[in-house]
């Protein structure tokens, strides 16, 4: 767990329109860096591990048999993962499943079709390893419910999204529901205020029951933060 917490100090990932870059300086070891092209990706996998270890993102390209690995605790990894989902290289619904159903490996794979099509039409889901440690319905203590912002305070439109073993995984599910909506609603040139107004008018408002003492989560606060991250300050 200590190594996982320290990853952000020596493992950094960045990207531009053409490449994803890894810059790594392990303590007591020689530093190294590399890069790979977005256009060469043929499979992206998310490996969900236990709380003692960092989850991992695997990028398989057409240029070599080995995958490029990015730990989710690395500096820049969360923003990169959001970019991967936003640009269609991993499905948002599958990302929710990967983050909330326990350990397992989930992959989004390039189809053998016309490569001139947009990326979101070239990729589909391949579940390579089913999550283990599953619980029977009703066993897990935290539930995520979802309200509709377009029907404010109308509980008849509420639905139960799922049950989770911890508050943290339930919040992760809430965040990914919001991310999925924002990715769909985002249009080039949108301001943060415009995207946020779209969300609070038409988006989904997930919440966790129960809330542990001292904990908190607000879908609207998180959505506003993500709008600024996606669009920049107005």
Q: Calculate mean pLDDT across residues 188-209.
A: 93
What is the pLDDT, as a whole number, of residue 192? 92
Q: How is residue 74 annotated by DSSP?
A: S
Determine the topology of domain 2-129 in CATH: PH-domain like (2.30.29)
* 191 — pLDDT class (breaks 50, 70, 90): very high
Which of 68-72, 126-130, 175-179, 205-209 tops mean pLDDT?
A: 205-209
**Cα distance between residue 130 and residue 133, in whole Å:** 10
The four Cα atoms 202, 79, 55, 33 give a dihedral, to 10 degrees, of 160
Query: For residue 113, is pLDDT > 50?
Result: no
pLDDT in tens, 8-17: 889 999 999 9
The residues spanned by each domain of the chain are 2-129, 142-231
Please tell me what DSSP assigns to residue 72. T
- Say what the pLDDT of residue 88 is: 84
Task: Report d(CA 57, CA 70) in Å as an integer.
Answer: 5
Q: What percent of the chain has pLDDT over 70?
A: 81
């Amino acid at each position: 767990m200590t190594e996982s917490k320290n990853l952000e100090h020596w493992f950094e990932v960045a990207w531009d329109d053409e490449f994803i870059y890894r810059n790594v300086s392990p303590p007591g070891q020689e530093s190294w860096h590399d890069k790979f092209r977005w256009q060469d990706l043929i499979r992206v996998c998310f490996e969900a591990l236990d709380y003692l270890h960092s989850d991992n993102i695997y990028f398989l390209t057409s240029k070599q048999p080995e995958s490029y690995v990015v730990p989710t605790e690395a500096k820049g990894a969360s923003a990169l993962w959001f970019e991967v989902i936003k640009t269609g290289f991993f499905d948002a619904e599958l990302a929710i499943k990967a983050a909330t159903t326990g350990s397992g490996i989930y992959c989004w794979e390039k189809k053998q079709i016309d490569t001139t099509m947009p990326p979101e039409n070239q990729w589909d889901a391949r579940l390579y390893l089913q999550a283990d440690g599953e619980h029977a319905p009703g066993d897990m203590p935290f539930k995520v419910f979802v309200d509709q912002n377009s029907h404010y305070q109308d509980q008849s439109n509420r639905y139960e999204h799922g049950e989770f073993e911890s508050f943290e995984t339930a919040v992760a599910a809430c965040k990914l529901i919001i991310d999925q909506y924002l990715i769909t609603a985002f249009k080039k040139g949108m301001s943060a205020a415009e995207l946020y107004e779209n969300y609070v008018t038409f988006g989904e408002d997930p919440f966790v029951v129960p809330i542990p003492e001292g904990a908190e989560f607000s879908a609207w606060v998180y959505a506003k933060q993500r709008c600024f991250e996606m669009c920049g300050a107005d």
